[in-house]
Amino acid sequence: MSRRVPLGAGALVAAVALMGAGFPAQSVPPAEWVQSLCRSLTTWSDDLTEARDDSLVTEGNLDARRDALVSYLRQVTRDTDALLNRLKDAGTPDVTDGKAVTKAFRRGFRQARAAFAGARKDAERVDTDSRRRFENALEDIQSDITEGAEAVGATFDTASERYDVEALDEAFNSDPSCTGVS
């Protein structure tokens, strides 16, 4: 006589996630994909704004300022990981070059994540024994983040030029959740 062991909800979710890991992304209508994209970007932007507290990085002793910057960059990296997961969950727009467009977006945000993670590692090593060296290091970190953002922008510009998908453009321009997303 065999005994059945009920599968808990957590185990079931994990099993489904593992099973689905090898399957291609779900193809979704362009408007659905764009709405998911815009909502994800808005959430990400809100998360970054919420995590930011400039006063912690600009005021107080150097150790506390460094720790605040490291904490912020750690949170921004996590928020970008969450964005990448939401983009993956959004599927692939059912348009010509939909898979390439999706890959371009994910590539761009992986670049942003790498810039944040690299900046965090640099911030962890900032010298707090000298205010001048500390301020110079912060400027270098800011410069690296800016360069990372410019690289992300270039990735999106290239994708926009390469993949002119009218259905996505129309969905982007008509979806209210995309207002303010540029």
| Range scoring the smallest mean pLDDT among 52-56, 81-85, 144-148, 172-176 | 52-56
Closest to 34 in 3D by CA, of 169, 182, 161: 169
Cα–Cα distance for residue pair 171/176, rounded to 1 Å:
10
- The total number of structural domains that make up the chain: 1
Is pLDDT at 144 greater than 50 in this prediction? yes
Residue 14 lies in a domain: no
Within a domain: 18: no
Q: In which band, very low, low, confident or very high, does the pLDDT at 182 lie, cut at 50, 70 and 90?
A: low
pTM of the model: 0.79
Domain that holds residue 38: 26-178
Structural domain contains residue 152 = yes
- Whether pLDDT at 134 is above 70: yes
Report if residue 4 sits inside a domain. Answer: no
Q: Is residue 5 part of a domain?
A: no
* pLDDT above 90: residue 1: no
Provide the token pair at 169: 């453009």
